Structure 1
Amino acid sequence: MKRKRKRASSPAPSGPVTLPLPGFVAVREEAAARVERLLRYRFHDRSLLEEALTHQSFAAASYQRLEFVGDAALGLAFSNYLYVTNPTVGPGTLSTLRAANINTEKLARVAVRHDLYPLLRRNCPRLDLLAGQFIESVKQELEDDLGTTPYGGSDVKAPKVLADIVEAIAAAVYVDCKFNLEKLWKVTRFLFEPIITAETIDEKPVSTLHELCQKLGKDLEFKPRQTGGTTVVDVIVGGVLVGMGSSKQMGIAKLNATRDALSKLLGGGNQQVLTTGVGNGEGVEVGELRECKQKLNEQCSKKHWPKPIFKLEKEDGPAHDTTFVYSVQVETQGGTCVTIGEPMSRVKDPENSGAHKMLQHLMKL
């Protein structure tokens, strides 16, 4: 059995920058040539490739249209491949396998493996920071994980821009070869190797969590719920919510939630993970809620505790209606306490929700 290196946590995006920012290939002919050498494909219309390597922060003519096409084309290409290679597998499993191979986490790792981000024209320092943190985190994973961790595995969420680059490049090939799906698959398939199959799909975290709960003598329960078009799975251990995961695919949502739970349960230290679910009936007034972070900071200062640590745990929903879930960690004399807030869409409300849960817990100590 291979032993995995312990992954170091990356700083939060708002913290001091200690990582080297990703580079940039300024000579565009060289950027295009690198992609052609990688794909072993010569573009008839190189302007498609230039468009695929341009972020909207740099120019209006960005990769967005190509990314739209690439998302659909790769989905169809994988659907065809999985249908042919899995003649006895049902549609539910086929959908899970397709999502495992082309979800954001997997595609972002493709971009990291083939060093695609430096080829992107962009003008957004925050984008560089987020991409840089993820790239450094993924580099700490074992080589096997880099290709076979379809649902995550690093401590940093994959920035969508990395997956977008892969989809846009795939679309550039697809359009350049006159929408020939067979040609697209032949040119790009190697990028996604090793392809996740029914035999290799990562189910180990679930069995690991079951074994851990048995050793702890705790009951384990997975509770799925729907939020819009997304499935959210809560992991309940001993009556306490210790993890959450979301995806459009039930199987992936469960694995995301399992990984989240394991990261907290195996995090070490005297850690208590507490939360209450959405719609708990507490009826907190918004005006009161928005003061909770300040009140928590004041209480920690008064008791001479370190400042609370706020961490983005989940981000769900479309761009116009995104909700965020924050956890809050407080170091007390009795140990580490962690609470998880409710999903909220306003900028500061998710942090205040987590702070509100923490204040409630501290009052009981």
Structure 2
Amino acid sequence: MEASVAEVERILCYRFKNGKLLEEALTHSSFTEGVSYERLEFIGDPIISLAISNYLFLAYPKLDPGRLSILRAANISTEKLARVAVRYGLHVFVRHHAQPLMDQVERFAEAVSLENPSVVSHGGSVKAPKILADIVESIAGAIYVDVGCDLEKLWKYFRRILEPIVTPGDLEQQPQPVSTLFEICQKRGKRVEFKHVRTKTASIANVFVDGKFIASASSAQKDLAKLEAAKIALDTLTSLVTPPTSIKSSNREIQLNFCTDEDGKITVDAAKHRLHEYCESKKWSKPIYRIEKDSGPSHEKRFICSVQITIEDRILQISGCEKSRVKDSQNSAASMMLMALFEV
């Protein structure tokens, strides 16, 4: 371990007064022979956020709080910190007994090696394993403790690791997911709304488009949860197919007809059958239905069902309206899926 500590100190250009701190920062919880990095990650996470917030506040005095939040999120996201870990090879020094997890790390590192390093990335072809961001945060925590909890000294040594710092110009060249989501939906005449829920351990961001739930993500920080939820929402929305209201398959035409259900809502007639037809014509797997919620006494049960379809490697899921019968709620979910696919 001494050799690993010395090599990481060389990478960081910082020599620890207490080398045990760096040993701890490089120890995963699966490695039971040592103290894990979880406590150092706990302090490192908010310290990196505070340090970058301080830097951005001073560097861009004319930037409004909203843009500052977006810029901070881009600089401390899991995707950004994971790439920092890979760029400096910090992951190879981690002590662990979790080979499947490290196999994921290697796949991510390989994918990152093929990326254009000049591009600000909010996510590539392989999702960043959280352990990589944890390593960077725990090392930041170790340095912070080693310098006597002095934020200025931490930034002096740690800024180089985070460079290049994402700038407002970078975000203009590659639009940030939140602003991109709003722009795309605005062009289509749709309204985007983020709803946040705070739990004891995380902030959960839910994305709704025209009142319909689209995506959700969680993070310790509200702006990071919002960033990740926006990215998922964009993936979902851009994967939706936009066919005309009449679709021709190899041997028949699939036509959507609309009717009003018992609640007075517009719905697709025979939606389950039509969705099955459409998936079959596109050679997609069959729709999968689930009961998401059932409530009320046995004689007055109400159900909310969801439907899930897979388009290539993307999974789309939409919930239907609450109904008194499972079959009706499934039909409602299928109707909403069709209307989303057809952008009705």
Alignment partner of 1:40 is 2:13: yes
Measured at CA, do residues 164 and 338 of structure 1 come closer, stay the same or move farther in structure 2, by a change above 3 Å? closer
Q: Which runs of 5+ in 2 are unaligned?
A: 246-262, 264-279, 289-305, 320-328, 339-344
Measured at CA, do residues 266 and 166 of structure 1 come closer, stay the same or move farther in structure 2, by a change above 3 Å? same
**Structure 2 Cα separation of the partners of residues 204 and 187 of structure 1:** 30
**SS at the partner of 1:81?**
helix
Residue of structure 2 aligned with 1:265, choices 238, 243, 264 = 238
Residue of structure 2 aligned with 1:58, choices 31, 52, 55 = 31
In the TM superposition, what are the counterparts of 1:64-213 in structure 2 within 5 Å?
64-145=38-119, 148-149=120-121, 152-201=122-171, 204=175
Residue deviations 1:128-172 (CA, integer Å, cap 9, x gap): 233233223323321123xx22xx321333222111100111121
**Deviation above 4 Å: which 4+ runs of structure 1?**
205-214, 247-252, 266-272, 305-310, 356-362
- Cα distance, 1:83 vs structure 2: 2.1
Contact 1:327–1:338 (Cα < 8 Å) also in 2: yes
Contact 2:194–2:208 (Cα < 8 Å) also in 1: yes
Q: Larger deviation: 185-194 or 219-228?
A: 219-228
Contact 2:205–2:225 (Cα < 8 Å) also in 1: no
Measured at CA, do residues 73 and 338 of structure 1 come closer, stay the same or move farther in structure 2, by a change above 3 Å? closer
What's 1:232 paired with? 206
TM norm structure 1: 0.60
What's 1:340 paired with? 317
Contact 2:44–2:141 (Cα < 8 Å) also in 1: yes
- Cα distance, 1:209 vs structure 2: 6.5
**Structure 1 Cα separation of the partners of residues 182 and 19 of structure 2:** 52
**SS at the partner of 1:143?**
coil
Paired residues in the alignment total 276
Residue of structure 1 aligned with 2:215, choices 244, 254, 268 = 244
If asked which structure has higher relative contact order (CA below 8 Å, sep 6+), I would say: 1
Output the aligned Cα RMSD.
Answer: 4.6
Measured at CA, do residues 226 and 269 of structure 1 come closer, stay the same or move farther in structure 2, by a change above 3 Å? closer
What's 2:326 paired with? none
Residue deviations 1:111-133 (CA, integer Å, cap 9, x gap): 11111111100111331233233
Larger radius of gyration: 2
**Structure 1 Cα separation of the partners of residues 89 and 334 of structure 2:** 41
Residue deviations 1:237-281 (CA, integer Å, cap 9, x gap): xx987x535465469736752564257636889799xxxxxxxxx
Contact 1:309–1:330 (Cα < 8 Å) also in 2: no
**SS at the partner of 1:61?**
coil
Identity %: 39
Letter of the structure 1 residue corresponding to residue 3 of structure 2: E
**SS at the partner of 1:49?**
helix
